[in-house]
Amino acid sequence: MGVSRQQAVENRHAIVAAAEKLFRERGVDAVGLAELMKAAGFTQGGFYNHFKSKDALVAAVMEKAMEDGGETYASIIENARSADANPVRQRIEWYLSPEHRANIEAGCPLSCFVGDARRLGDVAHGSYVEGLAANLEEFAKVIEDTEGISEGSRGKAITLFSQMVGTLLLSRAVADVDPALADEILDEGRQHLLTAVGTQRGNRSHGHAR
């Protein structure tokens, strides 16, 4: 007896979710089909009922990760505005927090998959690039609105986000071996960026919430 269409959709979602978790933890190339199908609760033979290749699965994972990342970012900005807080500072504080550093499974996909991006297939790589471009565009709009500027917001968005990603990745890289150094990197990077944002001309709100 075959599975229903609804069950097939749910099974596909389970495979994508299991694959994303493993890809985030270990990297795309380090995870085989047998392992990820076992993690999803299925046999390896059932993989091709849902995807024609591992590249197709990776593309589905990347599309989902970028969509989820965009929704998380939008939620952070909306929450900051609802609390009458500076959304740029709020995002920096969230991004460079110990909680986000530890949340590899569901944290920012742009930082989590940055090491895999250039080795991905064309479709998955394209999803990553689109996700990054959309992120920077939205971040620039938030900066423009928050600071009341009409020029230079894109450059600031690129600079800030690049520094955020670099700080997060370096802190993560040493967290298990040298937690003190990891915290130092995270704290110094966060404070530097918050100071830079706080001293920019035209900044409408200097308050921030932790």
What is residue 16's predicted lDDT score, i.e. its pLDDT? 97
Other CB atoms closer than 10 Å to residue 11's CB: what's the count?
17
Question: CB–CB of 115/28 below 8 Å?
Answer: no
What is residue 209's predicted lDDT score, i.e. its pLDDT? 36
**Is the fold of 1-51 the same as that of 58-198?**
no
Cα angle 176, 177, 182; round to 5: 75
- What 1-8 contacts at long range (C-beta under 8 Å, 24+ apart), as own/partner pairs, is 8/49, 8/50
CA–CA distance, 97 with 99 (Å, rounded to integer): 5
Domain coordinates of the chain in residue numbers? 1-51, 58-198
In this model, does residue 204 exceed pLDDT 50?
Answer: no
Question: Over the stretch 50-106, which tens digit does the pLDDT of each residue have?
Answer: 999 999 999 999 999 999 999 999 999 999 999 999 999 999 999 999 999 999 999
What is residue 39's predicted lDDT score, i.e. its pLDDT? 95
> 1-51: which CATH topology?
Arc Repressor Mutant, subunit A (1.10.10)
What is the CATH code of the structural domain delimited by 58-198?
Answer: 1.10.357.10
Q: Which has more confidence, 198 or 84?
A: 84
CA–CA distance, 109 with 24 (Å, rounded to integer): 8
Question: Over the stretch 11-25, which tens digit does the pLDDT of each residue have?
Answer: 999 999 999 999 999
Structure tokens, 47 = 């993989």
